[in-house]
Chains A and B, each alone.
Chain A
Amino acid sequence: MKKVYANATEALDGVISDGMMIAAGGFGLCGIPELLLEAIKDSGAQNLTFASNNAGVDDFGIGILLQTKQVKKMISSYVGENAEFMRQYLSGELELEFNPQGTLAERMRAGGAGIPGFYTKTGVGTVIAEGKEHKDFNGETYILEEGIFADLAIVKAWKADDTGNLIFRKTARNFNVPAATCGKICIAEVEEIVPRGSLDPDAIHLPGIYVHRIIQGEHEKRIEQRTTRKKEEA
């Protein structure tokens, strides 16, 4: 079965629809599926729920879908970089479910692994625990968190082969792996699609079984906080 598509719009064809729950990879603006987000904007799909650690910035990442009001709800751990997000949230236009970062990652991992719920210590005694089942194990209290089963996963990788085996680069791996696994359908955008057999099988970060559609494209890869040091005088 052919997994490689010409571009993001074609890869979304027959997949994207109103009201979907979409799991997206990325941390901040690092490793986000920027081409697929742009194509989702162009698709005009409405009332989307995103499970994504962050919400981009105003004009990049998921932020572009907030501008067009295509997002109904965000499940995120940190949204501090996005003024439009704040405005929509405080005015009640946008639903927000805060998840601790590790809980969000594990909810995706669990969903992808067929695990509907798990117990964690994270958030016990905080607002996160309100309304959730509490259970003691060996004298410690844990809360029940549920796996995320998304309709669609969109991720960004460095390289893919045409069977969907993926390799990520440095800290751009982040949420892309757990997000990819928890989607009924996963679309990956990569910087380079290489011939079958040219990736070391021992070095594959995400096996192609999780990836249904692949596109290659040019990425802006915007830097959110450019921090540097000076070269010391010799």
Chain B
Amino acid sequence: MPWDRNQMAARAAQELEDGMYVNLGIGIPTLVANYVGDKDITLQSENGMLGMGPFPFEGEEDADLINAGKQTITELSRTSYFDSATSFAMIRGGKIAAAVLGAMEVDEEGDLANWMIPGVLVKGMGGAMDLVAGVGRVIVVMDHTNKHGKSKLLKKCTLPLTGKKVVNRIITNLGVLDVVEGGLKIIEIAEGVTEDEIRAATEANIVN
């Protein structure tokens, strides 16, 4: 059985180490916060906060306290607030250890496309280009194939890029792959999935 959203998020949480400052993107990456366990992880929200807490209890929402997805959240005892220039100074300056992001396409060189489909989706890149250019490690979490069954792990991205040679690791519903010299390397296969199935669902070159 391929991993479901929560299993993918749980697998991504294993990538995070004690003491890390981490930025989680919207969608499945947000779920990663549910699986960090006892690890001492500080979540950054790029609209100006370190130490992001869970959603507030009903009736305790604060319009002045939101995450980068514009959702109401809460603060923790470790929380600090700052302005957007400071927030991206710490991102660009390499202080954030890792970002976990969703993607539309990743290719065998580590190029990432996750912000635009020309003529269809023109919402903007938000902070994604800054994150992939600045953080220590970029972990992509996404389905292995799109809804038409086509591979999202390509030889070459077809959509406008978010960043060039920026992805380090890809966690999909089928397994875990690293971007290495010459292509992608299979690191782990989801239980019940075969290596042949991963290879068949991957357009990118797989190296041994």
Q: Which residues of A contact B (CB under 8 A)?
A: 27-31, 53, 76-81, 86, 89-90, 98, 100-103, 105-106, 108-109, 120-128, 158, 168-178, 205, 221-231
Are A224 and B125 interface neighbours, CB within 8 A?
no
**Considering the chains assembled together, what is the distance between the CA atoms of A18 and B94 in angstroms?**
41
CB within 8 Å of A: which B34-68 residues: 45-49, 54-67
A101 shortest CB reach to chain B, Å: 4
A83 shortest CB reach to chain B, Å: 12
Q: Which 9 A-B pairs have the closest CB atoms?
A: A102-B88, A125-B164, A80-B123, A102-B130, A177-B83, A78-B124, A221-B63, A100-B129, A101-B127
Contacts of B69 in A (CB 8 A): 225
Contacts of A106 in B (CB 8 A): 85, 88-89, 92
Q: Which residue of B61, B75, B129 is within 8 Å of A123 (Cβ)?
A: B129
Determine chain A's interface SS by DSSP, over half rule: loop
Are A77 and B126 interface neighbours, CB within 8 A?
yes
Kindly supply a per-residue 1/0 record for chain B positions 75-95, scoring 1 wherever the CB is within 8 Å of any chain A CB and 0 otherwise. 100000111110111011000
**Considering the chains assembled together, what is the distance between the CA atoms of A89 and B116 in angstroms?**
15
Given contacts A124-B164, A126-B129, A223-B61, contact A102 B82 (CB under 8 A): no
Q: Which residue of A30, A76, A89, A100 is within 8 Å of B66 (Cβ)?
A: A30
| Chain B residue total in the interface (Cβ 8 A) | 53
Q: Which residue of A78, A89, A173 is within 8 Å of B83 (Cβ)?
A: A173
- Asked whether B72 is an interface residue with its Cβ less than 8 Å from the other chain, the reply is yes
Q: Which residue of B46, B91, B92, B164 is within 8 Å of A126 (Cβ)?
A: B164
Are A105 and B66 interface neighbours, CB within 8 A?
no
Given contacts A89-B122, A178-B84, contact A229 B56 (CB under 8 A): yes
Given contacts A30-B66, A105-B84, A226-B72, contact A174 B47 (CB under 8 A): yes
Contacts of B57 in A (CB 8 A): 228-231
**Considering the chains assembled together, what is the distance between the CA atoms of A40 and B92 in angstroms?**
34
Contacts of B82 in A (CB 8 A): 173
**Considering the chains assembled together, what is the distance between the CA atoms of A175 and B66 in angstroms?**
14
A205 shortest CB reach to chain B, Å: 8
CB closest chain-A residue, reference B69: A225
- Asked whether B140 is an interface residue with its Cβ less than 8 Å from the other chain, the reply is no
Are A171 and B49 interface neighbours, CB within 8 A?
yes
**Besides A102-B92, A168-B81, 5 other A-B contacts (C-beta < 8 A):** A106-B89, A178-B83, A223-B61, A225-B66, A227-B56
